[in-house]
Amino acid sequence: MKIQTALLSVSDKTGIVEFAQALAQRGVRLLSTGGTARQLADAGLTVTEVAAHTGSPEILDGRVKTLHPKIHGGLLARRDSEVHLKTLEEHGIERIDLLVVNLYPFRETIARAGCTFADAVENIDIGGPAMLRAAAKNHGTAEGGVTVAIDPADYPRILADMDGPQGGPSYALRLELATKTYAHTAAYDGAIASYLSSLASAEPAQEQEPERNAWPQNLTVQVKRQQILRYGENPHQSAAFYIDQPLQDGLLGSYRQLQGKELSYNNIADADAAWECVRSFQTTACVIVKHANPCGVAIGNSSLHAYQQAFKTDPTSAFGGIIAFNRPVDEATAQAVSGQFVEVLLAPAYTPEALAIFAAKKNVRVLEVPQGNGHNEFDIKRVGGGWLVQNPDDYQVPEDAFKVVTELAPTAAQMQDLQFAWKVAKYVKSNAIVFVGGGMTLGVGAGQMSRIDSARIASIKAENAGLSLTGSAVASDAFFPFRDGLDVVADAGANCIIQPGGSIRDDEVIAAANERGIAMVFTGARHFRH
């Protein structure tokens, strides 16, 4: 069915003038409201204000403008119903065939510093969701229905269908856009519900703003399916990858795959572990991950140097691993990396020469992830019948919180290694022990039931890689419950340790460090990672 009348009322005005011009060129009558109508008129378009169309002025400071039978009747009338069409004729209501609406920026408003409760409430859209739901409900049948658009990215597709043999948007497109619309309004309502349920239940004094609790009573999470995966962690499990809406730059979900096989469930999980670790460094760094644990991490004066140092930690585990860089990958780095078997590469950019080298290895998945400061609002873990929700572990220990607790203080060089080790330990599964030296990992012990076993494994791995631990620095993600763990790392050659502290046996462990001539620093914070 040909589009004859369109109603356009958008907060995000990206591309709206150009889209409206294209509609007008195709003979479409334009209805609009407020700022959108003014912008279209300023562009020289003939546009009818909704108030003129309905014969009813906007009232209540604009809270009521589209809530009118001439709007909702025009959207909801079934195009295949003689009764509905006759009713429209009897009441002088014109069909509205295309609705272009996106909603008041509620989420953006409440995210702003200094947002008041009144600001938040005034940015709860009423007319917009009502129109969107009406139009989406009446997306119709193969014979015709209403087309609804919430996303400027869909404007070209609508125009392409209008120029096609059917003369209007296909049923497949109308159904897709209706589905997208309901997901959008559900997310919008969910954001409002989460915000309101986070307010303190006690009625505030008239002059005060309602207080917000850290955790809302009701939490709504809206994500979009990015792709269906071949299978999950194991072949008998099905899986899919979903991404946040909206998506923040800097997070793995914003990746662009430049080449290689389709990503698997485990590829994505491991890639996220590698990317989160490498982007935590301010200097040039490389991280190699295997089974969600860093098996090699290093900083360097170039991506190549950082990779070479990281690879030395555990060449065996690096086989078939995930490699992440926080700086562009050049030809020399690509040449070195291509000498080993790698599943996934991540970097903010690649030179053309580097991509040419990787192109010879067609199965290698090469991902470009834009740098940015995006962060997840929540970490969520599924348990039987519920969800565990927490803030992400993004705590940075202030410089003045590092506390030397031993008779011997670390040198400046040792302190740099300790801080490097502490950063890496955050991304290693608990119990975590990390040996480092000279800006590179030397041995990593992860995921053991006892801390002493992690310490032993880390020293064994260093020995297997031919790396000396003499004079190394060690990080422990949580406190040493007994002195035995400290003795293991001291026997291996460590001369300084960083750990949270907080054990009832801290005095015993400190005494052991003094006995062994080891400098030890407490952070006052731990980094469990389960």
Residues with catalytic roles: 137, 291
Phi, psi for residue 195 in degrees, rounded to 5: -65, -50
Secondary structure class of 198 (helix, strand, coil): coil
d(CA 376, CA 368): 19
- Take residue 292 and report the two structure tokens written for it: 């969600």
Count of CB atoms within 10 A of residue 395's CB?
12
Which long-range contacts link 121-127 to residues 24+ away (Cβ below 8 Å)?
Answer: 124/192, 125/188, 126/63, 126/67, 127/64, 127/65, 127/66, 127/67
Separation in Å, CA 234 to CA 148, 267, 381: 40, 12, 19
CA distance 303 to 461: 24
Sign of CA dihedral 162, 168, 173, 179: positive
CA distance 274 to 321: 10
Is-contact 514 408, C-beta < 8 A?
yes
- Find out whether 193 and 218 touch, Cβ atoms under 8 Å: yes
- Residues 6 or more apart whose CB falls under 8 angstroms from that of 41 comprise 47
From residue 489, give the alpha-carbon distance in Å to each of 68, 282, 452, 473, 474: 75, 28, 9, 9, 8
What gap in Å lies between CA 38 and CA 97, rounded to an integer? 22
CA distance 253 to 374: 11
Cβ atoms 367, 262 nearer than 8 A: no
